[in-house]
Structures are given as structure tokens and as C-alpha cells.
């Protein structure tokens, strides 16, 4: 949004980010197997296509690098206040402005407020009886420890959502025993993932029209359910 506003001639933009870097969900989640479930050529900004994706379904670290690249290339970092959480927003009728209360104790006034808080930055921890008394290692997938060693251990994974679907295959060969608990069965389809050969990446770089065609073909194949209505 900040980039698009600047491209439209509006440079008086401030972005408040409670984290220490840009990247949102791709900054917060670094568990084994973390990747996008949308093909890379489609999971890119239309104004910044990326011919150098390493795989058809990009992994977390590469997506985070892409977002940082965009912030740098389009010079929006100077307009971002990191480690600054918006605690409240109140509309001042008389001044026709929003007044924001920030976590550093300051306030900020704006004519237009655009909430872009995301929905995947606050982990949901289930209320399971006895959870607080568990003597082993316990953590949410969004808080995956960098130094955790799973080799030979008895591991229990609770849930079969998108994160578990990525985590379980990534750790199954490393652990001593793996139990997966689910409340409701999820429908899982095969993920046609593969690495892009270097030759293909060079072609996408040299012929941008092919990269654009790959993007729209992916959309028509996977995202569009009614071609006559969505093709335009």
C-alpha cells in the first residue's frame, strides 16, 4: 500500500510496524517447511515481478527477502516506524483526523487511516487441561526455537492446519516418534512443487512477457473458478 500510494504521488505516508523488520507473517514464521501455498509467480506484487524465484512454491526465507527487497527498491523504509505498535485509534470529528496512540508514548495524527494488521501475527494457543504442567519442550509453531533439536525425540503435533501440513513432512524423518492430533480431518491435495532450473530463470529475466504469461496462466489454472467471468 505504501508503495502504491507513492507511485500515485502521495509521499506523505507513515507506516507503523510493531515488529523489528518488514515482512509480516514471513518474518514471524520460520518453522521447518514454512513456504507459500500459492505459486511464486502469482505470489508477487504485480509491479515487481521476480524472475529469480528458486521454486514454484517459494519458501519462507526467500519470500521474506523479496519483501525486504521491495521495501528497499521503492524506498519506503524511511517512512516505516519499526517496533511501534498502534494501541488505539480515535477519530476527531472537529479536525476530521485520526489520532493514534503509539506504544512509545507518542501520538500521530492522520487524515486517512488504513488498517493493515494482518491476521496471522497473533498465535492461537488452545486451552488444553494440563498444558501448563507439561514437563517437556512446548511451543507454538509461530515461536519455533532456532536451537531446538528433534532428533530421536517423541514429538506430538496438535492440529492439521496449513502450518502442520508443512511441518510434519519436514520433521518426520528426524524424530524418533511422531504423533499427529487433529480435531477434524482436512482435505489435502498434492503440491506440485519443483525447483526452477537456472536456464528457466534466465529466460524469465530476459523475456518479461513469459514471466507475465506464467503469472496469468497460474491464475487461470488455480485461482479462477469461472473463466468466462474472471478472465478479464
Across residues 70-89, what is the average pLDDT?
96
> For cell 515482512, what's the residue?
23
3-state SS assignment for residue 85:
coil
For the chain, report the end-to-end CA distance as a whole number of angstroms: 23
State the alpha helices, DSSP H only, in 48-93. Answer: 60-73
Query: With b meaning 16 or more CB within 10 Å and e meaning fewer, what string describes 145-184?
Result: eeeeeeeeeebebbbbeebbebbbeebeeebeebeeeeee
What Rg, from alpha-carbon coordinates, does the chain have?
Answer: 21
Query: Residue 80 — very low, low, confident or very high, per pLDDT cuts 50/70/90?
Result: very high
3-state SS assignment for residue 59:
strand
pLDDT at 225: 61
pTM: 0.88
Query: Residue 227 — very low, low, confident or very high, per pLDDT cuts 50/70/90?
Result: very low
Q: Read off the C-alpha cell for 109.
A: 495524527
Across residues 88-109, what is the average pLDDT?
97
The fraction of the chain above a pLDDT of 70, given in percent, is 96
Domain boundary assignment for the chain: 131-181
229: pLDDT strictly greater than 60: no
Amino acid at each position: 500500500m505504501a508503495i502504491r500510494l507513492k507511485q500515485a504521488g502521495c509521499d506523505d505516508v507513515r507506516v507503523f510496524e510493531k515488529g523489528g523488520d518488514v515482512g509480516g507473517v514471513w518474518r514471524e514464521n520460520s518453522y521447518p517447511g514454512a513456504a507459500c501455498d500459492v505459486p511464486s509467480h502469482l505470489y508477487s506484487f504485480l509491479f515487481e515481478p521476480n524472475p529469480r524465484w528458486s521454486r514454484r512454491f517459494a519458501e519462507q526465507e526467500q519470500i521474506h527477502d523479496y519483501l525486504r527487497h521491495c521495501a528497499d527498491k521503492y524506498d519506503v523504509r524511511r517512512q516505516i516506524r519499526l517496533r511501534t505498535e498502534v494501541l488505539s485509534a480515535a477519530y476527531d470529528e472537529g479536525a476530521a483526523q485520526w489520532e493514534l496512540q503509539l506504544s512509545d508514548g507518542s501520538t500521530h495524527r492522520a487524515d486517512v487511516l488504513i488498517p493493515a494488521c494482518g491476521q496471522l501475527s497473533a498465535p492461537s494457543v488452545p486451552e488444553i487441561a494440563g498444558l501448563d504442567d507439561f514437563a517437556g519442550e512446548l511451543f507454538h509453531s509461530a515461536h519455533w526455537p532456532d536451537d531446538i533439536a528433534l532428533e530421536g525425540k517423541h514429538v506430538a503435533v496438535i492440529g492439521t492446519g496449513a502450518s502442520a501440513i508443512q511441518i510434519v513432512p519436514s520433521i518426520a524423518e528426524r524424530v524418533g516418534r511422531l504423533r499427529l492430533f487433529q480435531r477434524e480431518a482436512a482435505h489435502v491435495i498434492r503440491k506440485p512443487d519443483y525447483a526452477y532450473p537456472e536456464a528457466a530463470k534466465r529466460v524469465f529475466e530476459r523475456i518479461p512477457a513469459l514471466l507475465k504469461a506464467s503469472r496469468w496462466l497460474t491464475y487461470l489454472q488455480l485461482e479462477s473458478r469461472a473463466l468466462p467471468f474472471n478472465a478479464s
